[in-house]
């Protein structure tokens, strides 16, 4: 296959505003995911991470709508796909895991049956075979006593166990891409790490790519091959994990890393830079970070920077990237 597995280009998503014209919460966004790659999408609350994930699934929350761009899976645009075709693609070739496992599960159906149903619908398995597949999946997500748990209802499971079931459902068809949107944020810290590692290992085992969305930069340091940093609906930096962590180039990335640092002085730097009052609205002809940027110059207010290469495989949307 030539080209990335998932290729989002020039995506724009707008929401109506009560007081004026529609607001673009995502604009000019490009993001590529290669086969087998784990891409971390990081950024603070409201950056547009969930809207991006849901756009790829053609599930933009109402009343939002995609007004521009493409989101291709192996060259086929998901954004213009018929609902009928999408039903075959979602769950089978691309699946999503969110922070609310109980909300995803059917409260009236034993959890094993929910996994087996996926195998019946998407893999064409019969009743007996799909039950075997579901049991095997329960073992893979490390649910103890899988035969007994097969018959359990969602309310009988802990949050961590419910999330393991959601992961089993998401992975049972061997999708090419898994989107994990804040998938562990509702769980205890110790369980979070276990579930993330499990998710990564299982995805790797079946060569699924993964888009791992989180506000917690620390999580991406352990799990991801590549990091994309999102700010106000735009990717402001993207690169291999090593490059972004060791040589962050966009001032926003530097601040984001400082916010997660153990170093108190670095964290203080972040809180000083956090005054967002002068930030321009999304889509204006200025850098989206100019109001908070300690390195901003006149050009940053007058001209919107493009995402451009600063080293092979490393890009930043900044007129004055910090290059070392």
Ligand X SMILES: Nc1ncnc2c1ncn2[C@@H]1O[C@H](COP(=O)(O)OP(=O)(O)OP(=O)(O)O)[C@@H](O)[C@H]1O
Q: Is 32 exposed, middle or buried (0-12, 13-18, 19+ CB in 10 A)?
A: middle
Contacts (CB under 6 A) with ligand X, residues 53-112: 61, 64
- CA 176 to mean position of chain CA atoms: 15
Q: Provide the 3-class DSSP secondary structure of residue 307.
A: coil
Segment interacting with ligand X (CB under 6 A) among 47-55, 75-83, 263-271, 300-308: 47-55
Are 237 and 317 within 8 A, CB to CB? yes
- How many CB atoms within 10 Å of residue 314? 20
The yes or no reply on residue 282 touching ligand X (CB under 6 A) is no
51 closest CA partner among 282, 262, 313: 282
The yes or no reply on residue 283 touching ligand X (CB under 6 A) is no
Task: Select 43 or 248, whichever has its Cβ closest to ligand X.
Answer: 43
What are the CA-CA distances from residue 48 to residues 60, 94, 96, 232 (Å)? 11, 20, 16, 7
Rounded to a whole number of angstroms, the minimum distance from the CB of residue 198 to ligand X is 22
Q: Which residues pair with 24 in a beta bridge?
A: 14
Segment interacting with ligand X (CB under 6 A) among 45-53, 102-110, 138-146, 190-198: 45-53
Contact pick of 45, 108, 189, 298 for ligand X (by CB under 6 A): 45
Task: Select 10 or 205, whichever has its Cβ closest to ligand X.
Answer: 10
Distance CA(66)–CA(63), nearest Å, equals: 10
Segment interacting with ligand X (CB under 6 A) among 43-51, 90-98, 252-260, 305-313: 43-51
Question: How far from each other are the two terminal CA atoms of the chain, in whole angstroms?
Answer: 35
Rounded to a whole number of angstroms, the minimum distance from the CB of residue 49 to ligand X is 4
Contact pick of 25, 78, 210, 223 for ligand X (by CB under 6 A): 25
Task: Select 74 or 100, whichever has its Cβ closest to ligand X.
Answer: 100
Are 97 and 178 within 8 A, CB to CB? yes
Sign of the alpha-carbon torsion through 17, 20, 25, 30? positive
Segment interacting with ligand X (CB under 6 A) among 39-47, 128-136, 190-198, 245-253: 39-47
Segment interacting with ligand X (CB under 6 A) among 38-46, 82-90, 196-204, 251-259: 38-46
The yes or no reply on residue 1 touching ligand X (CB under 6 A) is no
Contacts (CB under 6 A) with ligand X, residues 172-211: 182
Residues that bind ligand X (CB under 6 A): 15, 25, 43, 45-51, 61, 64, 182, 215
């Amino acid at each position: 296959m030539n080209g990335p597995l998932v290729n989002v280009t020039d995506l724009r998503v707008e929401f109506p505003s009560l007081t004026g014209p529609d607001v673009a919460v995502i604009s000019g966004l490009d993001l590529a995911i290669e086969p087998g790659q784990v891409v971390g999408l990081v950024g603070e609350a409201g950056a547009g991470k969930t809207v991006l994930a849901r756009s790829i699934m053609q599930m933009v929350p109402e009343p939002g709508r995609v007004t521009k761009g493409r989101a291709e899976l192996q060259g086929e645009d998901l954004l213009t796909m018929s609902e009928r075709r999408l039903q075959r693609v979602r769950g089978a070739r691309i699946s999503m895991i969110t922070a609310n496992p109980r909300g995803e599960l059917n409260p009236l159906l034993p959890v094993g049956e929910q996994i087996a149903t996926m195998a019946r619908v998407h893999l064409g398995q019969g009743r007996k075979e799909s039950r075997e597949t579901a049991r095997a999946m329960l073992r893979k997500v490390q649910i103890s006593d899988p035969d007994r748990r097969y018959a359990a209802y969602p309310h009988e499971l802990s949050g961590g166990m419910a999330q393991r079931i959601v992961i089993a459902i998401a992975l049972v068809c061997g999708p090419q891409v898994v989107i994990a949107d804040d998938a562990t944020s509702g769980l205890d810290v110790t369980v979070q790490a276990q579930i993330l590692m499990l998710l990564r290992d299982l995805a790797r085992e079946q060569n699924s790519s993964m888009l791992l969305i989180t506000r917690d930069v620390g999580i991406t340091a352990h799990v991801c091959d590549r990091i994309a940093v999102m700010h106000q609906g735009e990717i402001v930096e993207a690169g291999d994990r090593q490059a972004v962590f060791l040589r962050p180039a966009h001032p926003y990335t530097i601040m984001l890393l400082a916010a997660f640092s153990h170093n108190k002085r670095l964290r203080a730097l972040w809180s000083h830079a956090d005054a967002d009052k002068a930030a321009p609205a999304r889509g204006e002809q200025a850098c989206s970070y100019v109001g908070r940027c300690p390195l901003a110059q006149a050009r940053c207010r007058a001209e919107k920077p493009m995402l451009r290469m600063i080293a092979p495989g490393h890009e930043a949307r900044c007129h004055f990237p910090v290059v070392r």
